[in-house]
Each structure stands twice: as C-alpha cells, then as structure tokens.
Amino acid sequence: MSDVINNKTHHRYELEVEGHIATEHYKLEGHVITFEHTDVPKELGGKGVGSKLVQGALDQVRAAGLKLIPQCPFVKAWIEKHPEYQDLVKT
C-alpha cells in the first residue's frame, strides 16, 4: 500500500492500492474538518484499506492541528475502536 495523500483540489484523502483508489471525502471550515464519506472500491474490500486510509488521514489531521467532526459512520466507528484518536473529535 502506498501512503495516504491529501488531494486538496478534490477535498479528499486518497490511498492507492492495487491500481484502485480509496477515498475519504471531507469539508474543511477554518480549523475543523468534517469527514463526510469513505469510499473503498469493492475490489479492495476486506483488506484493511479503509482502516489504513482513516488512520493516515487522522494522522495528517493531528499534524495540522485540526479538530474533526466524524460525520461518516465508518470513521466514527473506527475512532470508537481506537480511543487514542478521540482527542481529535470536536466537542
């Protein structure tokens, strides 16, 4: 798997795997980023691609000093399983 990149033009984080691109779509307002939708191509299902994408995106959110609104159910569930990222969630 390659690294997660922030495609600011398309407002999404991307992870290319096996010629397919998994994406995490977001909206950025000030210092708050809202993760709206995670899309993992069916060819990549069950390989942990979504988790790697979310973790890579959240690591970049942390490095940028942003707060997160996990609107996407996948991201919300992932954070619940990884409490070390809970501090990123905007309260």
Report d(CA 28, CA 12) in Å as an integer: 10
Q: For the chain, how many structural domains are there in total?
A: 1
Which residues in the chain land under pLDDT 70? 1-2
**At 79, which CATH number?**
3.40.630.30
Q: In this predicted structure, what is the pLDDT of residue 2?
A: 62
Range of the domain at 64: 5-88
60-71 exposure pattern, b = at least 16 Cβ within 10 A, e = fewer: ebeeeebebbbe
pLDDT, tens digit, 9 for 90 and up, residues 28-48: 999 999 999 999 999 999 999
- The pTM of the full predicted model, rounded to 2 decimals, is 0.94
